[in-house]
């Protein structure tokens, strides 16, 4: 059983992208966890590390505000507080701007802006009331520079980054930090499929676009996220930082 003063963290998706490695690292640092739609066996693994872990199923669609509300309520019901919360979301639409449609724009807006908005609106009131907390919006490095072939996606990711900065400014008086991190060129099945890098020759060409000459690993990205969640660097707020091997 974990110590009663353990920090409490929420991860919105425990089956996808950086969710599982993030959960493991937070557990290793003594956090009790609320995990949305956890991967099979993840909760048992986390409990085996000596922490408490609560799963909430059916909350993957964060465009539905009830999903974030269920995660927040699960933390309050189980632990009475929320010390850290991380959200990763997004909907990628590629193609030239003049060939896009309003439906494309709406899809990207919902995945990249509405989802983090709903998450923050569900989590932040508890943190503001308790006078402490860390929130991390996990987005895309495309939000920090124009991205040929993905203009809608890049624009909406930039909006999410500014959203985090504005939230940070508003909540600073309550000792609540909000930061954003953005990735690109990750060694992750979805990126590999989208870029064609499942083909070794294509992967070599993709890697030439990265100043460091390789793709990023999810375990190192989880490590990168830790100071924004684990209570060790709460003086940092209002930042958007790229994790893209020097691409941005």
CB-side exposure of 17: number of CA atoms within 13 Å? 21
**What is the per-residue pLDDT across 156-166, written as a single tens digit (0 to 9) for each?**
999 999 999 99
pLDDT at 1: 45
- Whether residue 3 has pLDDT greater than 60: no
Confidence category of residue 44, pLDDT binned at 50, 70, 90: very high
pLDDT at 90: 87
How many other CB atoms are there within 10 angstroms of residue 100's CB atom?
15
Cβ atoms of 82 and 127 closer than 8 Å = yes
Which position has the token pair 């940092």? Answer: 236
- Whether residue 87 has pLDDT greater than 80: yes
Cβ atoms of 75 and 10 closer than 8 Å = yes
- Whether residue 227 has pLDDT greater than 60: yes
Query: Per CATH, which fold does 8-185+218-240 belong to?
Result: Rossmann fold (3.40.50)
Angle between helices 19-28 and 218-225 (to 10 degrees): 50
Q: Hey, which residues does 179 pair with through a beta bridge?
A: 136
Q: CA-to-CA distance for 143 and 242, rounded, in angstroms?
A: 9
pLDDT at 4: 53
Average pLDDT of span 167-191? 96
- Whether residue 5 has pLDDT greater than 70: no
Rg value, the chain, Cα: 18
Range name among 13-17, 85-89, 147-151, 244-248 with the lowest pLDDT average: 147-151
- Whether residue 2 has pLDDT greater than 50: no
Q: CA-to-CA distance for 67 and 10, rounded, in angstroms?
A: 13
Cβ atoms of 167 and 224 closer than 8 Å = no
- Whether residue 31 has pLDDT greater than 90: yes
Residue 93 DSSP symbol:
-
**What is the per-residue pLDDT across 190-216, written as a single tens digit (0 to 9) for each?**
889 888 999 999 999 999 999 999 999
Q: Hey, which residues does 240 pair with through a beta bridge?
A: 180
Which pTM value belongs to this model?
Answer: 0.94
Confidence category of residue 132, pLDDT binned at 50, 70, 90: very high
Q: CA-to-CA distance for 165 and 170, rounded, in angstroms?
A: 9
Q: Shortest CA distance to 147 belongs to which of 112, 110, 98, 96?
A: 96
pLDDT at 247: 96
Sign of CA dihedral 31, 32, 36, 41: positive
Q: CA-to-CA distance for 133 and 119, rounded, in angstroms?
A: 14
């Amino acid at each position: 059983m974990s110590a009663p003063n353990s920090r409490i963290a929420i991860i919105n998706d425990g089956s996808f992208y950086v969710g599982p490695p993030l959960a493991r690292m937070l557990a290793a640092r003594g956090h009790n966890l609320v995990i949305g739609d956890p991967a099979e066996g993840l909760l048992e693994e986390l409990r085996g590390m000596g922490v408490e872990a609560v799963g909430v199923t059916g909350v993957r669609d964060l465009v539905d505000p009830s999903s974030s509300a269920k995660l927040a309520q699960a933390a309050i019901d189980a632990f009475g507080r929320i010390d850290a919360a991380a959200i990763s979301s997004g909907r990628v639409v590629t193609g030239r701007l003049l060939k896009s449609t309003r439906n494309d724009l709406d899809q990207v807006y919902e995945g990249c802006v509405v989802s983090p908005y709903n998450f923050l609106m569900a989590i932040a009131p508890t943190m503001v009331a308790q006078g402490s907390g860390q929130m991390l919006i996990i987005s895309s490095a495309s939000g920090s520079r124009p991205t040929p072939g993905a203009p809608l996606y890049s624009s909406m990711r930039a909006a999410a980054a500014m959203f985090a900065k504005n939230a940070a400014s508003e909540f600073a008086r309550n000792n609540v930090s909000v930061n954003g991190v953005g990735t690109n060129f990750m060694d992750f099945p979805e990126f590999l499929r989208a870029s064609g890098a499942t083909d070794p020759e294509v992967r070599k060409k993709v890697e030439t676009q990265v100043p460091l000459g390789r793709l990023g690993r999810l375990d190192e990205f989880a490590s990168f996220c830790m100071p924004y969640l684990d209570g060790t660097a709460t003086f940092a707020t209002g930042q958007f930082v790229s994790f893209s091997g020097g691409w941005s």
